[in-house]
Structure 1
Amino acid sequence: MKQLEENLGFLLLDRGRKAVRLTPAGAVFAEHCARILGQLDAARALAEQKSKGTSGTLAVSFVPSMLFRHLPRTLHSFEEAYPAAKLDLHEMNTNRQIDHLTQGKIDVGFIHSVPLPDDLQSHLVETERLVCCVPRNHRLAERSRISISEMAGEKVLVFAREFAAHYHDHIVGLLRAAEVDPYEHYRVQHWFTVIALVAQGMGVSLVPRSLSRSRMADLVYIEIEEPKAQHEIRMIWKTDNKNPVNEIFRRHLQLSRLSSS
């Protein structure tokens, strides 16, 4: 310490008979040294991440309902674990995600399960039940469980087929198998629009259970008996994606609560 003081040209410690304490100059010097050491530790961590391929930008797309499937928590935990890796988020429907992935415009997507091109891979995130969504004052609102056939005679809203044909066809197939006719004259894109219309008394719908977490007022969600009233959520990416952050992100998700396997 004396050698450091000699090099600096001033005292850092006040050496009394009963105690040793920092001088005013020493206190200022210690404060700045602690700050510099903290910056060095952060710099070392960031450099280590970069050497392991954990820096860079990852373009992530998702269907809007992923906001209620714990995706934000997973994204936040990834950013905390890998601060040198930046997330570029894009909200878009399933069809657009597939197009953007095949064109190399995004790195990873979260979609409603559909048949995929050969150059895309997928990981099952969640198998989710569909539920009946009705206004709070609806005749079915007091029921805890119904069959789809009990929706007959209602204006059953679905999103437009052009935005996710396979997913749309699955839901319409469930309805028609129960002899329920879907009402397809409202050309809406998002589930949020569907449940907003239901809340206004403009129909009922068969929706993903995760939407019940949206807490939109004046809505009731009822369990469905049919075992096939469910669908899969998948993470998808292009097989030849060269972004080093891609694999790290996928591994992080598979270890998080968002993933079902």
Structure 2
Amino acid sequence: MAVTFRQLEQFLMLSQELHFGRAAEKLNISQPPLSASLRQLEAQLGFRLMDRNSKGVRLTPAGTVFAEHAARILGQLDSARVIASETAKGAAGELVVGFVPSMLFRDLPAKLKAFQNRHPRIELSLREMNTVGQIESLLEHKIDVGFVHAVPLPDGLVSRTLETERLVACLPRWHRLATKSRIRISELAGERIMVFSRVFAAHYYDKITALLRAADLELDTRFHIQHWFTVVALVKQGMGVSLVPASLGSSVFSDVAFVEIAERNAEHDVSMIWRKEDRSQTLQNFLTSVQRFATDTL
């Protein structure tokens, strides 16, 4: 017969009290069952744990070692019980969060910090990736929630729009239009216009190209770029101009100007996405926290 946790608890109480009467009282049982539990435990182990004589009760050397390990085992059991309970309530565990790089300039760090403050036992794992990568990772259960440029989603994923953001013209600081407060897209005629490759966010790419074509302009397709930061860095070096999210205006790039665009439809949505089937309390707590953050900062 295997040793039970109840036997360990009873023996540990005996090892602490070294008195059957007091130990039985604290365990809320009578003394005979406690004595029987000790004898059964010793029989199962094959060695004596305690010696009893007229002077009282004492642990054997083997009993001292066993008591130390029993305390450790029971402590681990209690910790496991607490952690498992908190996980079931969404108060502990891990949440893997994907995000597009530009989210760093849209209060994402503050959103994550607010959630971590409320749920310190939940470990946040962050994955920087483009929109397409996040969609694939969600479907493959590699991440739990993502922050993306809004795109049509496949079945099984749901979204919540976080904000509608304007696009702005990104120009070298010395550019002829850099000192203007607002321009029309058509004023970029004759410029080399860059944007990230379509494979990384087709819907977003198509939105920008549609705006350009409405102004009789075309993208320069010789650049195969993955991130907005690369686009801005190339603009800084005078390699061209671009239409970028307004949030990049708070980036650390110098020698770059961000100029407002007059066209009313020069905007896009930023969304949070997750699996529709995911009913975990941890995810629900995160979604609630992000929503609360948005409300608190209005």
For this structure pair, what is the TM-score category when the shorter chain's length is used for normalisation? 0.7 to 0.9
Alpha-carbon distance in structure 1 between the residues aligned to 2:102 and 2:168: 14
Tell me the residue number matched to 1:206: 243
**Which structure: greater helix fraction?**
2
Give the distance between the partners of 1:154 and 1:178, measured in 2 at CA. 13
Q: What one-letter code is carried by the residue in structure 2 that aligns with 1:82?
A: H
| Matched-pair contact (CA < 8 Å) for 1:70–1:258 | no
Q: How far does the alpha carbon of each residue in 1:103-129 deviate from its partner, in whole angstroms, 9 at most, with x for none? A: 111110000000001211100111000
Provide the secondary structure at the position in 2 that maps to 1:183: coil
Alignment of 1:127-146 (within 5 A): 127-146=164-183
Instruction: Give the Cα–Cα distance (whole angstroms) in 1 for the partners of residues 149 and 296 of structure 2.
Output: 14
The one-letter code of the counterpart of 2:217 is: V
Match of 2:287 in 1: 250
- Kindly indicate whether the alpha-carbon contact (under 8 Å) linking 1:125 and 1:260 is maintained by their aligned counterparts in 2: no
Structure 2: tracts of 5 or more residues without a match:
1-78
Match of 1:196 in 2: 233
Change (3 A) 1:84 1:118: same
Change (3 A) 1:214 1:76: same
The reply to whether residue 159 of structure 1 matches residue 176 of structure 2 is no
Letter in 1 for 2:173: R
Distance 1:50 1:112 in 2: 30
Question: What is the match of residue 123 of structure 2?
Answer: 86
3-state DSSP of counterpart to 1:222: strand
The alpha-carbon deviation at position 260 of structure 1 amounts to 9.0
Q: CA separation of 1:63/1:101 partners in 2, compared to 1, >3 Å: closer, same or farther?
A: same
Of 196, 200, 205, the match for 1:168: 205
Mark the runs of 5 or more structure 1 residues left unpaired by the alignment: 1-42
Give the length in aligned residue pairs.
218
Displacement after TM superposition at 1:102 (Å) = 1.1
Contact kept, 8 Å, 2:93 with 2:282, in 1: the verdict is yes
Of 253, 267, 288, the residue aligned with 1:230 is 267
Scaled by the length of structure 1, the TM-score of the pair is 0.79
Q: CA deviation at 1:244?
A: 2.2
Q: Following TM superposition, by how much is the alpha carbon of 1:180 offset from its aligned partner in structure 2, in angstroms?
A: 1.1
Query: Residue by residue, what CA displacement relative to the aligned partner does 1:2-59 show, whole Å, maximum 9, x if unpaired?
Result: xxxxxxxxxxxxxxxxxxxxxxxxxxxxxxxxxxxxxxxxx9x989854632211001
Report % sequence identity: 51
Counterpart residue identity of residue 56, structure 1: G
Contact 1:121 1:237 (8 Å CA) reproduced: yes
Question: What residue in structure 2 maps to residue 107 of structure 1?
Answer: 144
- After superposition, residues 178-193 of structure 1 pair within 5 angstroms as 178-193=215-230
- 1:77 CA displacement: 1.4
Match of 2:42 in 1: none
1:57-72, aligned counterparts within 5 Å?
57-72=94-109
* Distance of 1:53 and 1:209 partners within structure 2: 35
Q: 1:162 to 1:50 in 2, by over 3 A?
A: closer
Q: Which amino acid aligns with 2:186?
A: S
Q: Deviations over 1:125-171 (max 9, x none)?
A: 11000000100100001110011000111001111111111111110
Q: Give the one of 249, 257, 275 matched to 1:220.
A: 257
Write out per-residue CA displacement over residues 217-237 of structure 1, whole angstroms, 9 at most, x where no aligned residue: 101111001111000000000
Q: Relative contact order: is structure 1 or structure 2 higher (C-alpha 8 Å, sep ≥ 6)?
A: 1
Which of 52, 56, 66 aligns to 2:89? It is 52
CA deviation after TM superposition for structure 1 residue 243, in Å:
3.0
Q: Does 1:74 align with 2:111?
A: yes
Q: 1:172 to 1:258 in 2, by over 3 A?
A: farther
